[in-house]
Structure 1
Amino acid sequence: MDRIFGEITGIPEGSEFENRFYLSQYGIHRPLQAGISGSQTEGADSIVLSGGYEDDEDNGDEIIYTGHGGRSQVTGLQVSDQTLSRQNLALALNCQRGLPVRVIRGYNHNSPYSPSVGYRYDGLYRVDSYWREKGLSGFFVWRFRLIKIKPLSDANQVSEEQPTYGQTQRVDTSVSRIVRDSQLSRFIKELYGYHCQVCQHTIETNIGPYAEAAHIRPLGRPHDGPDVLTNLLCLCPNHHVMFDFGGFSIADDLSLLGVKGKLYNHKSHVVGIEYLQYHRQHFFSREVGV
């Protein structure tokens, strides 16, 4: 059976279900126990908030969702680190590929947004970002920031999503962007002559060279990185994407982790060691696909 990314025909937002069996029968969330329905090669089509993980945060239109794994089957407590694999990797793919995920809230999820009985389908969310951090129990968990995709009447922008294989559906979303200091962005690129600090290549276009200013510790919630020169790198688009999604990181001595080489650093540019450490802890993992 094909995995459906998006709405299920005939099941509107707000639909309620008595138990997990009916969620599965109607195709809203197929697994009878797992909180994430997905494949690490395709992505995740749905999640259930059921109170299983102590690190979950539910703010209605924004959810900080804790990934799968590392819990004791006896006590339900986190007893080991999570890895970016299986269902966690599936949900991470949604972020990279722009796939929506169905969110279901259960009665046993400790949130004012949860139903008092049974389960309720609460619409589509996009995976805005994901990262690794130490949870309340002291073990590393993977966390995913989910943002509600607004219904048509509440939207101010239309974008294309791919909810099913071979079918395109128009989904309306509201977009909130962090306004970055364009002066700093221009400065860091001009300082390096639009050369990437990793590969030292520059991209030539018909209007001149191109490079991107990359924040080491991301701006905005929940990372709240500062828009300062010490938190910026000049990267080519390929290495910018790799860095943002944990394909490589940078050691305190500026040697590269995950790829060969050392970060080229201009004598006038001080890279903040505290931001490198934050990136390594929250985004860099050698366990992808384990």
Structure 2
Amino acid sequence: MAKLPFVFGPLAGVAPGHEFRNRLELYGAGVHTQTQAGISARQGEGAASIVLSGGYEDDEDFGDVIIYTGRGGRSAESRQQVADQTLTGSNLELARNYTTGLPLRVTRKVEARNGSFYRYDGLYRVAGYWAEPGKSGLRVWRFRLELLPNDGAPSPDAAAAVSAVAEEMAAYGSAPRRASTVLRIVRDTAISRAVKALHDYHCQVCGVQLRGGLPYAEAAHIRPLGAPHHGPDALANVLCLCANHHVLFDLGAFGIAPDFQLLGLPGQLIIKKKHLIGAEFLAYHRAHFYEPQANAGQK
């Protein structure tokens, strides 16, 4: 059996509702590159897809929301949970999707009168994960999956976002305004993953790398997306921040001077040579967020 490329996100020519007769057809189309396992993941990168086939008693499927049970601890003979699950292997990679924002392809096994088949049901995001006792009383890892709107467009290559940091800064237009679709979500998470990778999930203000088993940071747009600001979704307009400093920055509690000195906080923004930050975006944030707050505080 030929080895297929490992792809995250939507696949060209495969739209939600596409049906496959068996796992081999699913494999051949590249939708799920495992012929038996329910999770298809790559170590250190995340999970690309899952198949819901009714194998775990703790799974809960509400359609747009799935409470998915991780892998492990189940007897091959009885198919019952006989041991605690651990946050390792493909379970860890599913958790990684939560911190990176990578979308997850979901396929369901459908039982019909004349047999069963598999139906690809689109992209979901991992909205959270936790451990708790399952119906067996043993610990299982559970993942909340939420359906993403799907326009069927192929995913942009995240590597293109990383390579963009080496390009000269040009005039940026407004970020495209469109309904929430897979194309927009995957594009945004590519930028998010790029800035987090460049800073190894360390906050550019305090230098802290938050960890909860996996590193966590947030991508903060300097000039916000959407009306009325219309900032671009580009690395030059994004900072890697911890959750606290992301909120404070969005609220205008602090700003950043042209020389990267922090305004309203002690210290200087931590910068990387490969992450070119647009001076015009910092100026926009100072004018529209920081300075109004600072002036209000003086009254």
Q: TM-score, normalised by structure 1?
A: 0.54
2:164 paired with 1:143: no
Q: Which runs of 5+ in 2 are unaligned?
A: 162-181, 187-202, 216-299
Q: What's the secondary structure of 1:144's corresponding residue?
A: strand
Partner of 1:129: 128
Hey, what's the Cα distance between the residues in 1 that align with 2:67 and 2:46?
18
- Paired residue for 2:82, among 61, 79, 82? 79
Change (3 A) 1:138 1:242: same
Listed one character per residue, the Cα deviations across residues 2-39 of structure 1 (whole Å, up to 9, x for unaligned) are 42111111111110000000000010001110000002
Q: What's the secondary structure of 1:171's corresponding residue?
A: helix
Contact 1:151/1:172 (<8 A) preserved: no
Partner of 2:72: 69
Q: Which has the higher helix share?
A: 2
Hey, what's the Cα distance between the residues in 2 that align with 1:128 and 1:116?
33
2:40 paired with 1:37: yes
Residue type of the alignment partner of 1:101 = L
2:93 paired with 1:93: no
- Per-residue deviation at 1:90? 1.1
- Per-residue deviation at 1:135? 0.3
- Per-residue deviation at 1:54? 0.3
Partner of 2:49: 46
- Paired residue for 2:7, among 4, 25, 32? 4
Seq. identity, % = 48
Change (3 A) 1:42 1:162: farther
Contact 2:151/2:183 (<8 A) preserved: no
Partner of 1:166: 159
CA RMSD in angstroms comes to: 3.1
Summarize the alignment of residues 93-112 of structure 1 with structure 2, pairs less than 5 Å apart.
93-107=96-110
Contact 1:104/1:119 (<8 A) preserved: yes
2:22 paired with 1:19: yes
Q: Which runs of 5+ in 1 are unaligned?
A: 110-114, 154-160, 174-202, 206-235, 248-290
Hey, what's the Cα distance between the residues in 2 that align with 1:71 and 1:21?
24
Listed one character per residue, the Cα deviations across residues 107-149 of structure 1 (whole Å, up to 9, x for unaligned) are 259xxxxx97300000000001111111000110000000100
Any runs of at least 4 consecutive aligned residues in structure 1 with deviations exceeding 3 A, and if so which? 161-165, 236-239
Contact 2:82/2:138 (<8 A) preserved: yes
Q: What's the secondary structure of 1:96's corresponding residue?
A: helix
Hey, what's the Cα distance between the residues in 2 that align with 1:79 and 1:163?
42
Change (3 A) 1:127 1:163: farther
Contact 2:32/2:49 (<8 A) preserved: yes
Structure number with greater Rg is: 2
Q: Which has the higher strand share?
A: 1
Contact 1:99/1:163 (<8 A) preserved: no
Q: What's the secondary structure of 2:184's corresponding residue?
A: strand
Listed one character per residue, the Cα deviations across residues 184-209 of structure 1 (whole Å, up to 9, x for unaligned) are xxxxxxxxxxxxxxxxxxx997xxxx
